[in-house]
Structure 1
Amino acid sequence: MSRAVRFDQYGDVDVLRIEDVQRPEPAADQVLVEVVAAGINPGEISIRSGLLHERWPATFPSGQGSDFAGRVVETGASVTEFAIGDEVLGWSDWRSSHADYVVVPAGHLVRKPLALDWIRAGGLFVAGVTAYASVRAVQPKEGETVVVSGAAGGVGALTVQLARNTGAHVIGIASDANASWLRSVGVTPVPYGDRLADRLRQAAPSGIDAFLDTYGNGYVDLAVDLGVDPARVNTIIDYAAAAKAGAKAEGSSTASDAEILGFVAGEVAWGRIVLPVAAVYPLDAVRDAYRELGDRHTRGKIVLSMTLPADAGRVS
């Protein structure tokens, strides 16, 4: 038996439970991984609460989780690229990574770089490939000005750095508490709130070339109002606003690729981008982890650790 997060109906964090389940078995083209760490993501809150039922309906009982990192414990008969004991990171398309064991196709895995710690590896997939897709969608060029909303969140923190690495001047919208961190990674901070448009115009007197929205809540409309070409506006969350404005809405589904994940993992492993970790929780504290994530004021990722004892509580 092994542990796994389950829920039987849409609702808030109280519908989540830890259940004993049979350890999964890999099919011929699959790999069984013992999970060491697994990230949590805002999209999982929306799925669990039913807000994305039309787009991604849940089938009950439902599991949770896409991100994970761990060790290979069994391989299917046709798998040749991985062996027992390999350290890997990857993703599940079946909402199943918040568990002691996860089984996925071999093509959903990459080897974990030695320089990449387990916690960041376990929380990398969704944020990493979403940030990559978002930056790719607007194609920043050296010398251009790019604005990123939610610039210190799990996706935003990687997005600002990938955009910066293109040679663009990046402006990050975040709270004042995150200003120092944004400056430390070469990003110009601008606080959100009243008169934001005026502050952005002041920070970008020659205009804004592209806008990357990782937060929602009206930022697509703001970008258009600031004169940004809708073809160079991308949101990972506000699909209705994107459709209305003619903006893009490219995210993880357009970049769920092992080669892209491997690239981002290498960038983090060797320090070319930094993945901040806001907190680590034991699997049994999954409700507390999602409560903190739901406040939407975290810097970087919140990650579940399968190796922490149940009574460990939050680790920062």
Structure 2
Amino acid sequence: MRAVIQKSFGGPEVLEVVERERPKPLAGEVLVKVHASAVNPVDVAVRSGAFPLLGQPPFGVGWDSSGVVEEVAPGSRFAVGDEVYGMPFFPRAATGYAEYVAAPSRHLARKPASVDHVHAAAVPLAALTAWQGLVRAAGVKAGDRVLVQRAAGGVGHFAVQIAKARGAHVTAMGSAARHDFLRGLGADEVIDYRTTDFTDVVKDADIVLDSLAQGDRSLGALRPGGVLISILEHRDPELAARVEAAGRRVAGISVEPDHAALEAIAELVDAGAIRPHVEETFALAEAGKAHELVASGHVQGKIVLTV
């Protein structure tokens, strides 16, 4: 099969398509013929060496996949021909930019029936991050006031929709050019981060989804007893102590495979409550170009590789 790997840390040019043996599914696993794989900011950080999650190369980055089960091992929960999607193995290597991926069946869920593989592949890592923060950690509910930073990006655009699906009032941060997009996702209020300090506008949020590594500033937007969901500073015990001393709560999120959440998210996609947005697609051999675009920090929604 074809797969994208890297033999050294570096820029997008280190990504190369190679021929390698098709993986064999172990007990409880399935072999998936991949139709699409999404590119996430963590992929870029791991590739460059800025976030050495997988140790030293060689390895293949990429986790999000959507495809069709081609082979099942004993103990797996799918059948040949099932359409599935997921984010297997994270934070260990999955080599997701490949024609085939072998994965534990409990790291996968049935693909939302209402979308194609490209849009399904855009969902897992970003939507699970938003879900595990908002739903599992913060318990978002009807009437909550939620502030979502970087709301037009991968995690952010799912967070807006998940919070709205659960009845929250959502304030979304994004550039003025993204405001129509954010309102289309259901945002009740929008803030242009380039012209407005969000702490001047938001003072009583029940939940802040902080994806800017600005935990101390985000603290000022929370009401007493509110929850700070931290994506980038989740291992900062000093920040946690400051948040707790201020009478708020911090929930550090490091996303993990979660088939039950993927099933719940798929139901919302099929109900029309979540619409994954794909800004652009690239062929597998163009993974470097996809990384360049994601590294720009100005992607609306997600970037996906077609396989």
TM-score in terms of structure 2 length = 0.89
Alpha-carbon contact 2:5-2:60 (below 8 Å) kept: yes
User: CA 1:241 to 1:174, structure 2 compared with 1: closer, same or farther past 3 Å?
Assistant: farther
Counterparts of 1:133 and 1:183 in 2: how far apart (Å)? 23
Write the letter of the residue equivalent to 2:140. P
- 1:105 is aligned to 104
Could you say which residue in structure 2 is the equivalent of 1:180?
Answer: 180
Distance of 2:31 and 2:108 partners within structure 1:
11
> Does the CA-based 8 Å contact 2:234-2:253 persist in structure 1?
no
Cα distance per residue 1:93-135 (max 9 Å; x no partner): 1231110010011212222232121111112110111110111
CA distance in 2 between partners of 1:29 and 1:59 (Å): 28
Change (3 A) 1:163 1:78: closer
SS of match in other structure, 2:27: coil
Please name the residue that 1:192 is paired with.
193
Instruction: Note the C-alpha offset of 1:51.
Output: 2.3
**Runs of 4+, deviation exceeding 4 Å:** 227-231, 240-243
Aligned equivalents of 2:35, 2:110: Cα separation in 1: 14
Q: 1:117 to 1:199 in 2, by over 3 A?
A: farther
- Counterpart in the other structure of 2:170: 170
Q: Which residue of 1 aligns with 2:251?
A: 248
The code of the aligned residue for 2:233 comes to D
Match of 1:50 in 2: 49
Distance in 2, Cα, partners of 1:142 & 1:265: 20
Amino acid at match of 1:303: V
Count of matched residue positions in the alignment of Structure 1 and Structure 2: 294
The reply to whether residue 156 of structure 1 matches residue 159 of structure 2 is no
In the superposition, relative to structure 1, how do residues 243 and 289 fare at CA in structure 2: closer, same or farther (>3 Å)? farther
Shift of 1:231: 5.7
Contact 1:141 1:166 in 2 (8 A): yes
**Counterpart residue number, 1:314:** none
Which residue matches 2:20?
A: 21
- How big is the shift at 1:89? 1.1
**1:35-46 → structure 2 map (5 Å cutoff):** 35-46=34-45
Q: Which residue of 2 aligns with 1:31?
A: 30
Aligned to 1:89: 85
Counterpart Cα distance in 1 of 2:45 and 2:233: 12
Partner AA of 2:218 in structure 1: A
Distance between the aligned counterparts of 1:229 and 1:50, measured in 2? 39
Give the distance between the partners of 1:230 and 1:294, measured in 2 at CA. 35
Where do 1:201-216 residues align within 5 Å? Answer: 201=202, 207-214=204-211, 216=212
Partner in structure 1 of residue 74 of structure 2 = 77
Percent identity among equivalent residues? 31
* C-alpha displacement of 1:153: 0.5
The alpha-carbon distance between structure 1 residues 28 and 57, as it changes in their structure 2 partners (threshold 3 A), is closer
SS of alignment partner, residue 172 of structure 2: strand
- CA pair 304-248 structure 1, distance change in 2 beyond 3 A: same
What's 1:12 paired with? 11
Q: What is the rounded CA distance, in whole Å, between the counterparts of 1:139 and 1:28 in structure 2?
A: 35
Query: What CA distance in whole angstroms lies between the structure 2 residues aligned with 1:287 and 1:293?
Result: 10
Query: Is residue 2:275 matched to residue 1:274?
Result: yes
Question: 8 Å contact 1:127–1:154 — kept in the other structure?
Answer: yes
Q: TM-score, normalised by structure 1?
A: 0.87
What SS does the corresponding residue of 1:268 show, helix, strand or coil? helix
CA distance in 1, matches of 2:34, 2:208: 36
Task: State the alpha-carbon separation in 2 of the partners of residues 257 and 198 from structure 1.
Answer: 33
> Aligned equivalents of 1:190 and 1:75: distance in 2?
48
Task: Provide structure 2 residue ranges, at least 5 long, that are not aligned to the other structure.
Answer: 244-249
1-structure distance, mates of 2:104, 2:140:
33
Q: Which shifted more, 283-292 or 81-90?
A: 81-90
1:165-196 deviation per Cα after TM superposition (whole angstroms, max 9, x unaligned): 22221100011111011112221111112541
Matched-pair contact (CA < 8 Å) for 2:199–2:217 = no
Q: Note the 1:120-159 alignment, pairs <5 A.
A: 120-136=119-135, 137-159=137-159
Q: CA RMSD in A?
A: 2.0
In structure 2, the partner of 1:309 is none
**1:236 alignment counterpart:** 231
Please state how far the C-alpha of 1:3 moved relative to its aligned partner. 0.8
Q: Please, which moves more after superposition, 225-234 or 278-287?
A: 225-234
